[in-house]
Amino acid sequence: MHSLKPTKARTWKSLVSEDNPVLRAVAAPVNMHGADGRTPSMSQSELFRLVNDMLWIMAKNNGVGLAAPQIGVSLRVIVMNCGERYAMIDPVIQRDPRNQQKGMEGCLTFPGKQVEVIRANSVKVSFHDINGKLRQKNFTGLEARCVQHEMDHLDGKLLTDYEYADN
């Protein structure tokens, strides 16, 4: 079983610049188990390396979440650490629109920028973990905000899109 304790990044070493087109693209599924007859996007060892490097880059930049597009990889992978460390492969989110909260958010793609964003205060996420096991987890508060922010990255949406919107 792979642990989520990162070692120094080896393959992907830094964040992409805010004008990189990968940040505006909808990320492709990893397809860990070759579902629907499609070939998985990467081998298990490549996926371990990607998640390791993402965790390392996130920690090095004092972040609480990171999506693969932020390091130039257009795949549906996010990591976060808001007290507990998670790696989510091909996550799918369900929001509770009845319970929303406003809050300030930052983003590693835009250092120093803060934007007020309205988010669901609780979400349910289905995802594969790093070992390929399908999981489902409920998140609230900061963890819910973080996972929604990272999911935006997978769909080509950036923090700055909220800057002048009514959310």
Over range 90-110, report the average pLDDT: 92
Single out the residue of 122, 130, 165 nearest to residue 146, CA to CA. 122
Q: Which domains does the chain have, with CATH numbers?
A: 21-162 (3.90.45.10)
The answer to whether the Cα torsion of 52, 142, 151, 37 is positive or negative is positive
Over range 131-149, report the average pLDDT: 95
Over range 73-95, report the average pLDDT: 95
What per-residue confidence (pLDDT) applies to 5? Answer: 64
Catalytic pick among 18, 46, 150, 163: 150
Q: Would you call 46 a catalytic residue per the annotation? A: no
For residues 4 and 163, which has the higher predicted lDDT (pLDDT)? 163
Q: Whole-angstrom Cα distance, residue 139 to residue 76?
A: 19
Q: Is residue 81 over pLDDT 70?
A: yes
Res. 6 pLDDT band, cuts 50 70 90? low
Kindly state the percentage of the chain with pLDDT values over 70.
87
Over range 138-161, report the average pLDDT: 97
Q: Whole-angstrom Cα distance, residue 65 to residue 105?
A: 11
For residues 96 and 158, which has the higher predicted lDDT (pLDDT)? 158
Q: Is residue 1 over pLDDT 50?
A: no
Res. 82 pLDDT band, cuts 50 70 90? very high
Q: What is the pLDDT of residues 21-69, one digit of tens each?
A: 999 999 999 977 665 556 667 888 899 999 999 999 999 999 999 999 9
What per-residue confidence (pLDDT) applies to 156? Answer: 98
Q: What is the pLDDT of residues 118-137, one digit of tens each?
A: 999 999 999 999 998 999 99
What per-residue confidence (pLDDT) applies to 28? Answer: 94
